[in-house]
Structure 1
Amino acid sequence: MIELHYWPTPNGHKITLFLEEAGVPYTIKPVNIGKGEQFEPAFLKIAPNNRMPAIVDTAPADGGAAISVFESGAILHYLAEKTGHFLPTDLRERTTVMEWLFWQVGGLGPMLGQNHHFNRYAPEKIPYAIDRYVRETQRLYGVLNKRLEGRDFIVGRDYTIADMAAYPWTVSHEDQGIQLADFPHLKGWFERIRDRPATKRAYAIGDTVKDKRDARTDEEARRHLFGR
């Protein structure tokens, strides 16, 4: 059984996308980041960087004690190795998946996160920062759009953890100043993933968790999320 410590953010959605696609039994342990639950000692034992998601695998493949994993990219890789799903065995395809997984966690996620922050959450509008991160967002969308030319998914015909990592960060494209029509190959990829039954289930789970637990004020959330 996988225990998923989760909140419905792009990084959280990555893991429910995988679990729903693979049909892995799991339970959700909500971590309301707007209320500061990511700083609770019990959570920090499995996620020392005080960020979710994190998982606990109570039945690891080696038959030993439970294993905890933090960092969304590491979790996707762990789950793919555990289940044998969404990570090719072919050396070259597997290497490509890992390249694009690292591209997402090292570039797409952090840059789009800064775009979200300065456009939506920062207490004052800083034109230089907004322009900087919108331009970088456009560049990264262009990189992915070029990669997807002639391909259904990032590696080729098959859906992999590279796609699961990138997709949730593109869901808020309009808030990021992006029109998908400007990136036609990416747009087709986005729609293929959006329309998958497992994607719909994953996002429905997120809506349920947030509706039940999102009791906080905006100022309280800012304090917990941004150290204000």
Structure 2
Amino acid sequence: MSEFKLHCFAMSGNSYKVALFLALAEMDWTPVFVDYFGGETHQEQWRQEVNEQGEVPVLEHKGARFSQSALILDYLAEATGKFGPENVREEQEIWRWMLFDNHKFTSYYATLRFLYGIKKTGETAVTQFLRERAIAAYRIVDDHLRQTPFLVAARPTIADLSLAGYVYMPEDTGLPQEEFLHIAKWKDRIRDLPGWRHPYDLMPGPTSL
């Protein structure tokens, strides 16, 4: 039996953040497919047995369950001694970027991807708003990465894995990716890490609706 069990599905960028950690850290883990689009997370039994918040990822380890990707990444860094901070200041910076990710970088982009790239809504006032906000967040990250190879240090940390959740997803969002040269180089640096795999290769489930 694997040490870690991750409830996830291939199209979930938030799940990928955790799956990528487990892969790069060479952990012994098993993915458990969650039929999110089939409504599994809305079922009362699933919420009682897996996560009352009705979301993935959910990590199981040593009899405990953890949800919310940032918390899981923090737990894994502490439990394994990998991709974590080396001092208090780094810890603060990691959390600063993970909070920015959850509020801005991932949140706008992930919703835009779902509507425009997966549901194929076409351009609407909502997708236009989301794209504008996503571009603003991408510009902040791109400018920061102009100065450093990774977000917090000269090495990758869980801050990088958090922001990497959706950047390898292939769906068209209308985002001008060619403008973000430093993000592109950062993505290449993460992709070059031993153990990296694309989200659709790393987690189970369909890759389109």
TM range (shorter): 0.7 to 0.9
Task: Give yes or no for the alignment of 1:89 onto 2:90.
Answer: no
Across the aligned residues of Structure 1 and Structure 2, the Cα RMSD in angstroms comes to 2.3
SS at match of 1:28: strand
Once residues 26 and 137 of structure 1 are traced to their aligned partners in structure 2, the CA distance between those partners, rounded to angstroms, is 32
Structure 1 residue aligned with 2:104, among 107, 127, 130? 107
Give the aligned partner of residue 62 of structure 1: none
Structure of greater relative contact order (alpha carbons < 8 Å, 6+ residues apart): 2
2:40 pairs with 1:37: yes
CA separation in 2, counterparts of 1:122 and 1:22?
34
Mapped to 1, the partners of 2:119 and 2:54 lie a distance apart of 21
Name which of structure 1's ranges 122-131 and 146-155 shifts more when overlaid on structure 2.
122-131
Larger radius of gyration: 1
2:21 is the alignment partner of 1:18: yes
Q: TM-score, normalised by structure 2?
A: 0.88
Counterpart CA distance in 2 for 1:128 and 1:202 is: 29
Structure with the higher fraction of residues in helix conformation? 1
Q: 1:2 aligns with which of 1, 4, 10?
A: 4
- Deviation larger for 154-163 or 34-43: 34-43
TM-score by length of 1: 0.81
- 2:177 is the counterpart of 1:180: yes
From the superposition, tell whether residues 78 and 215 of structure 1 become closer, same or farther in structure 2 (CA, over 3 Å).
closer
Q: Mind listing any 5+ residue stretches in structure 2 that lack a counterpart? A: none
Report Cα offsets for 1:142-183 as digits up to 9, x if no partner.
010011112111112110111111112222476222233311
Deviations 1:176-215 (A, max 9, x none): 2223331111111011112333222765222xx22xxx49
Question: Aligned residues, how many?
Answer: 205
Identity %: 23
Q: Secondary structure at the match of 2:165?
A: helix
Give 1:46's aligned residue: 50
Residues 31-69 of structure 1, C-alpha deviations (whole Å, 9 max, x = no match): 1212222234453133111111101112xxxxxxx2110
Question: Is the Cα–Cα contact under 8 Å of residues 119 and 125 in structure 1 kept in the other structure?
Answer: yes
Give the direction of change, closer, same or farther, for the CA distance of 1:124–1:101 in structure 2 (3 Å limit): closer
Instruction: Note the alpha carbon deviations across 1:99-150, whole angstroms, 9 max, x for none.
Output: 1011111222221122123324558556221211111111011010011112
When residues 194 and 28 of structure 1 are mapped into structure 2, their CA distance, relative to the original with a 3 A threshold, is same
Match of 1:56?
60
